A and B are shown apart, each in its own frame.
Chain A
Amino acid sequence: MRNLAWKKYDPGKLGYFFPNPVLMMLNKVITDQQLLVALAMGDRKATSEIYKKNYPVVKGWIIKSGGTEADCADIFQEALVVLFSKAQDENFRLSCAVGTYLFAVSKHFWFKKMQKSSRDPSFSMEDMGNLETAISGVESDLNAHYEREEHFELLNSALDQVGEPCRSLLRAFYHQDKSMQEISAAFGYTNAENAKTQKYKCLNRLKKIFFNMQAK
């Protein structure tokens, strides 16, 4: 066996001098993985890199299929969200290249959109998009995504019902990543400890509302 070469593979050195397709693929998978870890942490540079690399392909395909530029952006961003959510799981493993994954998910979203807008009942997802979905194994991810979306939607509506100081306070803390010091200053609390107590009270209210809504 001649697999000795890639076992000793050092992407920094050998790959440069011997552009072996196998080594390059290995290299790509490694960098994809690194990118995804960064993506999961919300690293802007990594996200931008992935966006730049993969958006043109998806865009080209959607426009060719009759979509608009806005459609392209919406769909690709939604696909990125799926990838992001999946990357949150520490044990996640991508069965294919990032590009393939994003393309498959984007295709799925596109077909779903088409199905929604189309009055024709004969228009079927199975005919068009499901082949790729099945191959790249994004189906379970998509189901999880829809579930999560539903969950967050519920949470957001619960958040809307908690009433004013709480809603803003929780949004500031969880959405805008403000520290308790900043929040206490912004909301007029005497210190961060008071703000914290107020936050727990708000969380209590949110919990009540949210679980009531879930029970319904």
Chain B
Amino acid sequence: MMNLNSSIWELAESYLAGSMAADEKKLLSEKLESDTDFAEEFSECVDLLKSVTNSGKLHNFRNMIGEIHKDQSVKPARKLMNKIIALPPLFWRTTAVAACVALITSSITYWSITPSIKKNDSQYNKISREVEHIKTGLKNNTADIESIKKSANTQPVQPASQAKFTGTGFALTNDGYFVTAWHVVNQGNFDSVYIQNNEGLYYKAVLVSHDDKADIAIMKVDKKNFRFGKSDLPYTIAKSKALLGARIFTIGYPNNDEVYAEGYISSRNGFEGDNLQYTLDLPAAHGQSGSPVVDAKGNIIGILTAVGSPGEANTYAVSTTALYDLIKESPAIAKVHQHRNNRLSWLGREQQIEKMEDYTFSVKVYKK
């Protein structure tokens, strides 16, 4: 039933695998007992099969561990990168101390550096505060002026309507008396007179006294504690008549801008031999009426009043002697007028004009 010679390998294989049926096993063992040659060959076959199988297994195993080695020698690098190494508890205290030291050091550094930064900052603040101070100073000034205006009168600061007539005036005293030409004010029935100083601020004025013949009006700014400028008048007002040929200049407001003009006294008498007047060679325009005529040393010698007919080029000014006459007639003014000092005499023209700016102004007359 079994071709034993041809299938001795088959027998050995199934014997090794343990897949032999019970009767086959029995047959095989009987054969092995009876046939010693067969038994020897069979054992040789089994041995060889075992060896070959084991050698194959080992071969595969070697291959496998070779592959595993390759896999794992690649892995560790990746593993190392992701690995977070925990700090051993042994070093916790040391680390805490180091961290504290670092914290203290960095805070000290921070605090020692930031004050200097702050210093710079405060310097910047100072600068800006100074600027702000100036600003607020300006604001305060304007606020003061505003409040002054409000307390001075209940009238609007800027007159609502356009001025009918304008002229120029100059301060007689620092506390509000000023001089202008009577004809500027006396245009029919005037409603109100305002002065506008070179800062553009308006003040209401009231008539104090006037000389119709000499064409002089003394007025007063209708405001308590009013001052034209910070200091007393820089100029003096001449009590005697100036000499012929004296160099003179004037500052006036023919329009809203201050205008300077200069000339000389061309005649000690005025229009038609009026000895209260001067004849001046001085360009003048309408609106300059009431302007002070100042000599080179800062004495006001006259008040501009009129220009001659076209082509004549003469300008006429009222002598300040007429002004003094008027002052004498009004004791209230005479009492106030104390001024004697001239601070313009040694100054150059520019400085003279600059000093006078606060004390000369536009006079605006409004009508109903």
Contacts and interface: CB of A to CB of B under 8 A. Distances in A.
A101 interface: no
A152 B55 contact: yes
A206 B48 contact: yes
A148 B55 CA distance: 9
Interface in A167-216: 170, 173-175, 177, 199-200, 203-204, 206-207, 210-211
Contacts of B69: 51, 55, 73, 77
A119 B78 CA distance: 41
B107 interface: no
Interface of A is mostly: helix
Interface stretch (A12-20, A29-37, A41-49, A131-139): A41-49
A175 B59 CA distance: 6
Interface stretch (B60-68, B80-88, B124-132): B60-68
Residue among A156, A206, A207 with max Cβ neighbours from chain B (10 Å): A207
B9 A203 contact: yes
Contacts, number: 77
A55 B9 CA distance: 41
A52 B72 CA distance: 7
Contacts of A47: 61, 64-65, 68
B55 A42 contact: no
Q: How large is the interface on B (under 10, 10 to 19, 20 to 34, 35 or more residues)?
A: 20 to 34
A77 B65 contact: yes
A174 B58 contact: no
A204 B7 CA distance: 11
A27 interface: no
Interface in B197-254: none
Contacts of A211: 44
A42 B57 contact: yes
Contact of B44 (A55, A80, A85, A207): A207
B61 A81 contact: yes
Contacts of A206: 48, 52
Nearest to B66: A77
A84 B45 contact: no
A173 B58 CA distance: 14
B85 to A, nearest CB: 16
Interface string B94-109: 0000000000000000
A48 B59 CA distance: 17
Interface residues of A, number: 32
Interface string A140-160: 000000001001100110000
B142 interface: no
Contacts of B54: 88, 148, 152
Nearest to B10: A200
Contacts of B56: 173-175, 177
- Most chain A CB neighbours (cut-off 10 Å) among B9, B66, B72: B9
Nearest to B12: A203
A200 B9 contact: yes
Interface centre among A170, A199, A210 (most CB of B within 10 A): A210
Given A73-B69, A174-B55, A175-B56, A207 B45 contact: yes
Nearest to B51: A155
Contacts of A148: 54
Nearest to B75: A52
Nearest to B55: A152
A176 B162 CA distance: 120
A42 B60 CA distance: 8
Nearest to B45: A207
Nearest to A43: B64
B308 to A, nearest CB: 123
B53 interface: yes
B9 to A, nearest CB: 4
Nearest to A84: B61
B272 interface: no
A158 B52 CA distance: 11
A73 B70 CA distance: 10
A44 B68 contact: yes
B60 A51 contact: no
B51 A151 contact: yes
B312 interface: no
A51 B65 contact: yes
Contact of B52 (A55, A73, A174): A174
B62 A207 contact: no
Nearest to B7: A200
A204 B49 CA distance: 11
Contacts of B51: 151-152, 155, 210
Interface string B14-52: 000000000000000000000000000000110011011
5 contacts: A51-B69, A77-B66, A84-B58, A170-B52, A177-B60
Given A77-B62, A156-B55, A206-B48, 11 more contacts: A42-B57, A44-B64, A47-B68, A51-B69, A84-B58, A88-B57, A152-B54, A170-B52, A174-B53, A200-B6, A203-B48
A-B pairs with the 10 shortest C-beta distances? A174-B56, A200-B9, A175-B56, A152-B55, A175-B59, A174-B52, A48-B68, A207-B48, A51-B68, A77-B65
